[in-house]
Chains A and B, each alone.
Chain A
Amino acid sequence: MSRGMWIGSVLTALMLGLALVSLVWTPYPYAQLDIPNKLLPPSLAHPMGTDHFGRDILSMIMVGIRTSMGVAIVAVAIGLAFGIPLGLLASQRKGGWVDEMIMRTNDVIFAFPLLAMAILITAVFGPSATNAIIAFGLFNIPVFARVTRGGALSLWEREFIFAARVAGKSRLRISAEHILPNILGILIVQGTIQFALGIQVEAALSFVGLGVQPPTPSLGRMLADAQTLVTIAPHIAIFPGLAIIGIVVGLNLMGDGLRDWLDPRIRVVRT
């Protein structure tokens, strides 16, 4: 395991740990208002200070990480659940009508910037965490479909797939038995990348009010609250931001490490 992957895994585990601990314990109840103690700078009692309602920022960040990760994970799961079958189906007959239809639909979804998709969905159904998840989930479907199809297409030209076809196996069966296990690696890598992106997307959408709604804390919501106060109490913006960076760096390092680990391009000397 490379050093980057090691750092990434530790960072990710740490953030995940904070999120899980928040289920049973936080330093303070995250929603507890304490107006007299508002906007306190970091101290021993409040390691990351308090916000404009006197809430403990560390507690909010712990819960916020949980919310943000939850949003990202569910959206990635949507992408995986729909994208992989679609990609496999499209790859089974390259250029066939199923392939064409899936890829063209993908193109259309791809043409919608994520933000445009989120705007459209919230404009119709109102802003909520669920709608942010749907928007990012929809965005993820073509991403995974493309990765799956790309990986699968190169495999379909390999001789061991021909051998399986000569053995009379159906394309569906070959997809499950030979193709999927051999592209699982790139899918895992793409999954971590989309997960990291999801954290950023949640933050951005919640920041402009299209995502998680108060009172639920999320990293993006906290930054939205901090926006007007950043000049007088910088700490309420700095810590949630650092949490986002921590999660994203951790996941990206892990993804890069996994990629190198799964595909060590050893240059063979030919003679």
Chain B
Amino acid sequence: MLRYTLKRLISLVLSLAVASLVIFAVIEIAPGDPALFMLGVNAQPDTLAALRTELGLDASKPDRYLAWVGGMLQGDFGTSYTYRTPVAGMIADRLWVSLPLTIYALVISILLAFPAGIYAASRRGKMGDAAMMGTTQLGVAIPNFWFAMMLVLVFAVNLRWFNAGGFPGWDKGVWTGLHALTLPAIALALPQASILARVMRSALLDVLGEDFMRTARAKGLSRGQALWRHGLRNALIPVLTIIGLQVSFLLAGAIIIEQVFYLPGLGRLIFQSINSRDLIVVESVVMLLVFVVITVNFLVDLAYALVDPRLRTRT
């Protein structure tokens, strides 16, 4: 298990290193001089030069890459070209909206998908299964931001159960915060729950065809007991993969859906930065997204080993 973890950890670090190189290289291709951009076309050459030195723009490319990565490792993401404030602080503020939203949506997605998938699998080919599969087929197809608009229309504009948008901040209390994130989280979660429910169902059906399920029945377990005790854990292996993928979908979805609800999350930051060509912010946010995805994949790999003993002994 230790060796397995170590191996995954090494591959995690390698992936991060390569990803950071790619991001850095792409941003380097971008035309334009950030210093010129910040000071405007009328800037004096010596002020420009001073700012370039301050931003570290006149160092060689490898040095700048190392400085960037080294800074990030110490929590320093550089200084925003437009706001002249540390990027780390800007990101941290926004992360407090985007990350809870993502996790909230993930929890809803799992809570909806597991029972739905198990129910459909156990009623395979019957009415309940067909109805569930029809619903999820529709759920998969609904764009989450469109669904968000419809939710606003119904629950905020017509029923007035929720605010149409905005975020009061966590200092107003956890419940107030969660309440404000509920509609966006539901909008995010429903399509993903549909996907997850379908995966759960097909994984369970695959396991139901396995020989050891027949063995379990021959021991005297009922259909339900066999499904519960032997099917579920084996079906979890493909389901985990999808949950891992969903974290990155949900995070991306959160960034998009923040636009619908006017939430002060990463989404707003990043689209403002793109418009104002504040590339250092873009660079850092993208790196952060990649970091989250790679880390989640690492955690999923560890979860595999917990579920499947075959991975633990094999190196």
Say if A and B assemble together. yes
* Chain A positions near chain B (C-beta within 8 angstroms): 107-108, 111-116, 119-124, 127, 196, 200, 203-204, 207-210, 223, 226-227, 230-231, 234, 237-238, 240-241, 244-245, 248-249, 252-253, 265, 267
Of the A-B pairs whose beta carbons lie under 8 Å apart in the complex, a sample of 15, sorted by A's number, is A112-B290, A113-B289, A114-B252, A116-B252, A116-B289, A116-B290, A123-B274, A127-B274, A200-B143, A207-B145, A237-B149, A241-B143, A245-B142, A248-B140, A265-B209
Consensus secondary structure, chain A interface: helix
Question: What 1/0 flags go to B20-46 for Cβ under 8 Å of A?
Answer: 001100110110000000000000000
Complex Cα spacing A196 to B138, Å: 13
User: Is A208 touching B146 in the complex (CB atoms < 8 A)?
Assistant: no
* Chain B positions near chain A (C-beta within 8 angstroms): 15, 18-19, 22-23, 26-27, 29-30, 137-138, 140-143, 145-146, 149-150, 152-153, 157, 164, 209, 248-249, 251-253, 255-256, 259-260, 267, 270-271, 273-274, 277, 279, 282, 285-286, 289-290, 293-294, 297
Known contacts: A123-B282, A230-B153. The answer to whether A111 contacts B293 by CB under 8 A is yes
- A249 is contacted by which of B23, B141, B271 (Cβ under 8 Å)? B141
Complex Cα spacing A248 to B194, Å: 14
Most buried by B among A111, A127, A248, A253: A111
Shortest Cβ-Cβ A-B pairs, 4 listed: A248-B141, A115-B252, A241-B146, A124-B30
Most buried by A among B145, B285, B297: B145
Residues of A within 8 A of B294 (CB): 111
Q: B9 → chain A, closest Cβ, in Å?
A: 15
Known contacts: A245-B138, A249-B137. The answer to whether A111 contacts B143 by CB under 8 A is no
Q: With A119-B286, A230-B152 given, name 4 new contacts (CB 8 A).
A: A113-B293, A123-B30, A123-B274, A208-B259
Known contacts: A120-B282, A252-B137. The answer to whether A227 contacts B209 by CB under 8 A is no
User: Is B153 touching A234 in the complex (CB atoms < 8 A)?
Assistant: yes
Known contacts: A108-B22, A119-B274, A252-B140. The answer to whether A223 contacts B293 by CB under 8 A is no
Residue in A closest to B267 when the chains form the complex, CB atoms: A208
Residues of B within 8 A of A210 (CB): 274
User: Is B293 touching A204 in the complex (CB atoms < 8 A)?
Assistant: no
User: Is B141 touching A227 in the complex (CB atoms < 8 A)?
Assistant: no
Q: A196 → chain B, closest Cβ, in Å?
A: 7
Complex Cα spacing A30 to B270, Å: 32
Known contacts: A123-B30, A208-B271. The answer to whether A113 contacts B256 by CB under 8 A is no
User: Is B259 touching A207 in the complex (CB atoms < 8 A)?
Assistant: yes
- B270 is contacted by which of A119, A127, A226, A267 (Cβ under 8 Å)? A119
Complex Cα spacing A114 to B285, Å: 14
Residue in A closest to B16 when the chains form the complex, CB atoms: A111
